[in-house]
Each structure stands twice: as structure tokens, then as C-alpha cells.
Amino acid sequence: MHTIRHRILRRLHLWLALPLALFLIVLGLTGSVITWMHELDVFLNPGLLQVAVGDNETQQPPATLLARLNELPGYANPYMLELPEKKNDVLIARYKVLKQSTVARQVMMNPYSGAIIGERNWGEAGLSRPLLMPTLFHLHRQLLTGDTGKIVVSINAILLAIIALTGIYLWWPAWRLKAWWHAITVSHTGSWTRFNFRLHRAAGFYSAPVFLMLAVTGIYLNKPQWIMPVVAIFTQPASASPAVAKHLAMGQEKLPLEEILHIAQKQFPTARISRINLPKTSSVNYEIRLHQRGELRQRTGATRVSIDGVDGRVIKIQDPLKARKWELISSYFFPLHSGEIFGLTGKIFISLFGLMPLLFVISGTLIWLKRR
């Protein structure tokens, strides 16, 4: 006989899951796709994101390519350069789009010849080949509505965590070996109604920890300030130095970009430079992003070096391989959410797991209809 607590939690589980059904299906399916976002983007847009390379061709230095951009009308002053990861990749320059804070103009450049290949607006919704993957990414992360969407997604992630926790409570079997075996397995014997119930129950047991992980990491990726106080209970977050807005003084000149990159590379000699965040307006600070072998974060890496562009002073270094406490914990969030932490196997698992909300919505709805 079910207790009052059991009945209350069952109703809570039900009346949270039903309204969120469509949302969870959309997040699950888009998450499955964007797990392979880079690979699918290249597949859909080979002419935009790939270049043909001859045997004897070498890439031009980033400083040379930046100078080329600044010479071309309409291409001056990007705020970021995304450097090629592989020899066939393009260089991507990012620009602010006025009055559209959630949209960035991406300009693709041949890193060998310096020729402009094409461009697109990252964050602009559309179903064309260039816009399809960015659209699915922004649908997954912020429902195509910017900061408001991030809040909505984060709130629903909290509700997903509650659904998972109440599901574990409702799943918990009696302390008998047979009851536990029935709770974690699915049998084809009996009616389809019984099979559906056991499928929902057993799948929920295996899925709940993953849903909790995706909920927590998803909140952090959208609204980290919501997660930090919780993590602080277990470990003291690293105190961040206040950002100092330093600008060029009269007569000062910035160091050449080649020297800035040399300083960053000197901190991590074997790492690959993946991104260059250029100074904003008259600011002088650069942030160079690198990827070290052994990092959990693939492609771009999570290693960062902030450098004063006038005197070359290293302002801050973020090394995920030597992270401690809060920085160590937070470095796991994106790789866990995307599955990258376990390499190809993890990505395959996360992409298949994106189908689970659809399974739970169908099986859960059938259970609900049967009991009405």
C-alpha cells in the first residue's frame, strides 16, 4: 500500500514530466545532433569550412592573415580568430553584429592564400546548410531566444533534476532480491502494459544519474552563477581577480601579434593555439586559448593565457591539467555534458541517450493513460 509521501511524489513526477514532455524531447534530439556539430557542419558545408591543400603549401602566420583582414574593406577589426585545427580547415574570424548581441558574423578565410571563402551569421536562425547546425545549437542551449531562453532552459533543467530524483524514489524496490531484480530488468513475458511499465521503471533507474549530470552541467553552461554556491558547499571556489580595463595611453603601441603568440606558446610549448581573443576597442589585453594533449576539452581546449599587449606581461594562466578545487570541478562540466570526457565512446553514448526523453514520454504517457 502506497504511503501519502509516495502518492504526492508520484503526482509531482507526473505533473512535472507531462508539461515538460515536448521540451525534453527537443533538448534530447537536438543534443544528439549537436554532439557531432563540428563533423556535421563540415559535412554540410565543405566549401565553406574546408580548403584544398597542395603538398608543399604552408599556412600563413595568424598575424599575416589578421593584417590581410584589416586591409580588406568590411573585414577589419575582428574580435576573435579561430585557427585551423587540421590542415584542411579554414581560419574563422568573428565580428560583432550591431544590435544583435546573440549573433556573431563569421568570415571564413583560406589560411594558405588569405582569400575570403564565405561567411555566415552564427546565431541567426535558419534551415539553410550554413545555418542549420548553428540553429540547432542555439535551439538546444537557449531556445533561439537569447538570454531569456538560457533562463528558461536552466529552470527546466532544475525541474528535470527533480523529475529524476522523484523517479528514483518511486523506483526504489522492497528489500528483497527478487524485487530488486524486477526493478532493474525488463521481461517480455506478460502483457504489453506490464512490459511498458517495467521498461519505464528500469530505464529510469539507469538514466536518472545521466539526467542529473546533464541537468547540473547544463545549468552551469548557461547560468554558472546558479551552480557556484552549491559547489562552494563542497569546495571553496577559486577567487577570481577583478577584471582591469586597461587602455592604450598616449604614445603607447601594442606589441606585434607574433610576439604575443610567442609569449603564450612559451607558457605551453607543446600546446596548439586554437583561438585568439583580440583586444576590444582600445583595450590592450589578449586572451590566447590553447589545447594541450591530455585535456578533457577537445578541439579548442580550455587552456588560456591572458597577456598585456603593451608590455607582454602574462596576466593570468588557466591550466586545466593543473586545476584544483573549483576550477578542477568546473573543467569537467562541458566534457561531461558533450560526452567528450570519454572520447568517441562518450559522444556515441550521449548522442544515443538523447533519444531517452522520447522513450520516457511515450512509455510514461501510456502508464498515465492506463491508470486514469
Domain co-membership, 136 together with 205:
yes
pLDDT at 236: 57
Length of the chain counted residue by residue: 372
Strands laid side by side in the 303-308 sheet: 116-122, 104-109, 91-96, 80-82, 272-277, 285-291, 303-308, 314-318
CB 58 within 8 A of CB 114: no
Residues 226 and 284 in one domain: no
Residue 81 near residue 30 (C-beta atoms within 8 A): no
Q: Is there a single domain that holds both residue 164 and residue 296?
A: no
Residue 250 lies in a domain: no
Q: Compute mean pLDDT per 10 residues along the chain, 372 residues long, and list them.
A: 82 92 95 96 97 91 97 95 96 90 93 97 95 97 93 95 94 87 84 90 94 95 86 58 56 86 97 95 88 93 95 94 82 93 94 96 90 75
In angstroms, rounded to a whole number, what is the distance separating the alpha carbons of residues 123 and 302? Answer: 22
- What confidence score (pLDDT) does residue 135 get? 97
pLDDT computed for residue 323 by the predictor: 85
- 182 in a structural domain: yes
Task: Measure the CA–CA gap between 303 and 326, rounded to whole angstroms.
Answer: 15
Number of domains within the chain: 2
* Residue 243 located in a structural domain: no
- What pLDDT, on the 0 to 100 scale, is given for residue 330? 83
| Domain enclosing residue 292, as ranges | 257-323
The secondary structure of 191-241 as a DSSP string is: -HHHHHHHHHHHHHHHHHHHHHHHHHHHHHHH-HHHHHHHHTTTSPPPPPP
How far, in Å, CA of 246 to CA of 260, rounded? 16
Burial class (CB in 10 A: 0-12, 13-18, 19+), 205: middle
Q: What is the pLDDT of residue 333?
A: 93
Residue 159 inside a domain? The answer is yes
The reply to whether 197 and 317 lie within a common domain is no
**335 located within any domain:** no
Residue 49 lies in a domain: yes
Verify that 263 and 163 share a domain, yes or no: no
* Number of neighbours of residue 214 by Cβ within 10 angstroms: 23
Residues 71 and 154 in one domain: yes
pLDDT of residue 321: 93
The rounded distance, in Å, linking the Cα atoms of 30 and 137 is 7
Name the residue among 345, 367, 335 with its Cα closest to residue 204: 367
CATH code, domain with 270: 3.10.450.40
The pLDDT score that the predictor gives to residue 138 is 96
Residue 54 falls inside a structural domain? yes
User: Which 8-state DSSP code applies to residue 174?
Assistant: P
* Residue type for position 183: A
Q: Are residues 128 and 268 both part of a single domain?
A: no
**By three-state DSSP, how is residue 81 classified?**
strand
**Are 348 and 229 found together in one domain?**
yes
Is 0.85 surpassed by the pTM of this model? yes
Same domain, 130 and 73: yes
Q: Are 34 and 133 in contact (CB under 8 A)?
A: yes
Residue 297 and residue 172 share a domain: no
Same domain, 23 and 140: yes
In a domain, residue 62? The reply is yes
Task: Answer yes or no: do 201 and 295 share one domain.
Answer: no
